[in-house]
Chain A
Amino acid sequence: MQIPVEGFMYPNEVELQWSVLIVLYPFITGLVAGAFILASLERVFRVEAVKPTYRLALLTALSFLLVAPLPLQLHLGHPERSLEMYLTPHCSSAMAMFGFVYLWYLMAVLLLEIWLDYRRDIVVKSQTSTGLARLAYRVFAFGSSNISERSLRIDERLGYFITLIGIPSAFLLHGYVGFIFGSVKANPWWSSPLMPIVFLFSAMVSGIAAVMLLYMLSTRLRGREIDIRCLDKIAQYLLYTFVIDFSLEMLDLLQRIYEADESFRSLDFMVHTRLWKSQVIVQILLGTVTPIALLGLTQILKFNDVARKRIYGLAGCLTLIGIFAMRWNVVIGGQLFSKSFLGYTTYKMALTTREGLLIAIFLMLLPFGILWVLVKLLPPWPDSVSLPATGAAPAHGTS
């Protein structure tokens, strides 16, 4: 496949190393971090209004976190050797250390928090269901049937503590992905101390938008009433986070334009030509400025409930598109120009190969499939409290 090159590129640079799958990966982990931080808003910062989305946010985070390693595995030349990253991690490598950050976050934070929050329901279900489901629930409960008042209070305290650790862990999870790019001194498009922070805030934006949309969609599908106060609060947090995220990105851009160092001319040309559509049109105008304006309008003007919901829906969708475009522009954009600053190449995305578009679409849809299964196994709805035979109080997060 002849790849069109403009100007001069080092011969080995013509073919892109990291494909759309590596764009997908920070997008997915971003959703995880964002969803979790939204959940922790309620638990730790006692923002009552967003309570209805607490469990949904956790399950969303888990669905995406389970899918997150898949694009990486598909991209590796030798996925069968990936265990080496855990057995002989090279401690100077951000990628190796990230394997442990991911594992820590998955096991010690997310799974534990979900387990502690749902434990009562799991035990009750293990007693009331039959067949395979019963076995599954018994395994989830580790065979325990202990749901006494005291044990549930201990769970509550432990859960609070884990959420507390979970917030910096979520920050670390996605900030680290930013660091994986930001620490590459060879690439001026990536190399920046702002990178982890920009990634983190854009992750929070995407996570909040995703949970908001999922909440709206799932409530509609279940034929229930959307808690508009909850939605308003989430949209507010989305707006604030977005403003910070946009300011950081603009700060980076302005600094680059002003300092105009060695790489600037090459990067500037790239943005004006190869990245014009994806960066200026999709990411900035459609995906950032428009949602911020829409959300800002709802804060200034009074819209009725229906109009607000529609605006939130639109803003949420545009946000997700914009954040995906941001990942694309960082990962793909960083490989389109030559490190000699004298040329540009083209990304030819395949359709059916291991790293092609079809696989990317499948990987984006898979978390929703997993979420559907999780929602069936562990219903997160506020109005589906299962009262145990003993009549003990319902667990936290479902009232």
Chain B
Amino acid sequence: MFKDIEHLIRLAVVILVLLAVFVVLRVAVVPRSFGQYGHYRGAAIEETAARPIAFAGHDACEACQTDVVEQKKQGKHMVVACEACHGALAKHADDPASVTPPKLDTAVVCARCHEANSAKPKDFPQVVTADHSGGIACDTCHQPHRPKIETSTTEAKKTEPKTKTEGRK
């Protein structure tokens, strides 16, 4: 009887060998942490969490820039994070001396928030810059950290405490 199914037995052996190869592959190749928390590589969670950070967070800035904090506290920009305007500065926070934050062009930076757009909330301060200032830099008249102009323009600027660190105008 076996003589008649000899070819099928050979076939069965080949199939078993292939299955064995598959099992060996599975054990050897699948990453160790796979299945740790679910159907994925557990190590991926740690890897994702270990990415480098670009934005330091306003707490980091406020540790050093206490005078700016004082200024901001008096105005509406109190709730605006430093890096919202100044960009990502974790590198500067880690090594303040060697990494200098770039100078900002207020004509561009301020307009992003304050250019009039009918989709913005009605009570949000917005202007049509063409009419409001003709497109000149906003910090010609406004102090960005304390934007409200209290008295006459020149007076406001004169009485502002010196906050400029190296790199600003």
Instruction: Give me 14 other A-B pairs in contact (C-beta within 8 A), A115-B11, A141-B7, A154-B4 excluded.
Output: A83-B29, A86-B22, A87-B29, A88-B30, A112-B11, A142-B7, A142-B14, A143-B10, A146-B7, A148-B3, A151-B5, A151-B6, A154-B5, A154-B8
Asked whether, in the complex, the Cβ of A146 is within 8 Å of the Cβ of B6, the reply is yes
Asked whether, in the complex, the Cβ of A142 is within 8 Å of the Cβ of B3, the reply is no
Q: B35: shortest Cβ distance to chain A, in Å?
A: 8
With contacts A83-B29, A87-B26 taken as known, whether A144 is within 8 angstroms of B7 at the C-beta atoms is yes
Cα distance A119–B6 in the bound complex, in angstroms: 13
The 8 A CB mask of A136-162 against B (1 = contact, 0 = none) is 000001111010101100100010000
Q: Is A229 an interface residue (CB 8 A)?
A: no
Interface residues of A in 195-225 (CB under 8 A from B): none
The listed residue (B3, B14, B22, B39) touching A90 by CB distance below 8 A is: B39
Cα distance A331–B18 in the bound complex, in angstroms: 35
Select from chain A the residue with minimum beta-carbon distance to B41.
A88
Residues of B within 8 A of A141 (CB): 7
Cα distance A86–B5 in the bound complex, in angstroms: 31
Cα distance A158–B39 in the bound complex, in angstroms: 39
Asked whether, in the complex, the Cβ of B30 is within 8 Å of the Cβ of A119, the reply is no
The 8 A CB mask of B31-51 against A (1 = contact, 0 = none) is 000100001000000000000
Chain B: interface residue total (CB-CB under 8 A): 16
Select from chain A the residue with minimum beta-carbon distance to B10.
A142
Q: B31: shortest Cβ distance to chain A, in Å?
A: 9
Q: At the interface, is chain B mostly helix, strand, loop or mixed?
A: helix
Residues of A within 8 A of B3 (CB): 146, 148
Cα distance A303–B25 in the bound complex, in angstroms: 60
Cα distance A148–B8 in the bound complex, in angstroms: 13
Q: B148: shortest Cβ distance to chain A, in Å?
A: 36
Q: B1: shortest Cβ distance to chain A, in Å?
A: 9
Select from chain A the residue with minimum beta-carbon distance to B35.
A88
The 23 listed contacts between A and B (C-beta, < 8 Å) are A83-B25, A83-B29, A86-B22, A87-B26, A88-B30, A88-B39, A91-B39, A119-B7, A141-B7, A142-B7, A142-B14, A146-B4, A146-B6, A146-B7, A150-B4, A151-B4, A151-B5, A151-B6, A151-B7, A154-B4, A154-B5, A154-B8, A158-B8
Asked whether, in the complex, the Cβ of A142 is within 8 Å of the Cβ of B39, the reply is no
Residues of A within 8 A of B6 (CB): 144, 146, 151
Asked whether, in the complex, the Cβ of A142 is within 8 Å of the Cβ of B4, the reply is no
The 8 A CB mask of A79-115 against B (1 = contact, 0 = none) is 0000100111011000000000000000000001001
Residues of B within 8 A of A146 (CB): 3-4, 6-7
Residues of B within 8 A of A143 (CB): 10
Select from chain A the residue with minimum beta-carbon distance to B5.
A154
Cα distance A223–B96 in the bound complex, in angstroms: 86
Choose among B6, B7, B22, B29 the residue with the greatest number of A CB atoms under 10 Å from its CB: B7
Q: A92: shortest Cβ distance to chain B, in Å?
A: 8
Cα distance A144–B4 in the bound complex, in angstroms: 11
Cα distance A142–B6 in the bound complex, in angstroms: 10
Asked whether, in the complex, the Cβ of B5 is within 8 Å of the Cβ of A142, the reply is no
Q: B37: shortest Cβ distance to chain A, in Å?
A: 14
Asked whether, in the complex, the Cβ of B8 is within 8 Å of the Cβ of A88, the reply is no
The 8 A CB mask of A284-307 against B (1 = contact, 0 = none) is 000000000000000000000000
Cα distance A130–B22 in the bound complex, in angstroms: 34
Q: A23: shortest Cβ distance to chain B, in Å?
A: 30
Q: A67: shortest Cβ distance to chain B, in Å?
A: 22
Cα distance A158–B11 in the bound complex, in angstroms: 13
Select from chain A the residue with minimum beta-carbon distance to B18.
A107
Asked whether, in the complex, the Cβ of A148 is within 8 Å of the Cβ of B29, the reply is no
Interface residues of A in 133-189 (CB under 8 A from B): 141-144, 146, 148, 150-151, 154, 158
Q: A127: shortest Cβ distance to chain B, in Å?
A: 14
The listed residue (A87, A91, A142, A148) touching B11 by CB distance below 8 A is: A142
Residues of A within 8 A of B4 (CB): 146, 148, 150-151, 154
Residues of B within 8 A of A86 (CB): 22
Cα distance A121–B10 in the bound complex, in angstroms: 18
Residues of A within 8 A of B29 (CB): 83, 87
Cα distance A91–B25 in the bound complex, in angstroms: 19
Cα distance A250–B112 in the bound complex, in angstroms: 51
Select from chain B the residue with minimum beta-carbon distance to A92.
B39
Cα distance A209–B70 in the bound complex, in angstroms: 81
Select from chain B the residue with minimum beta-carbon distance to A93.
B39
Cα distance A83–B21 in the bound complex, in angstroms: 13
Cα distance A115–B6 in the bound complex, in angstroms: 15
Residues of A within 8 A of B14 (CB): 142
Choose among B4, B30, B34, B39 the residue with the greatest number of A CB atoms under 10 Å from its CB: B4
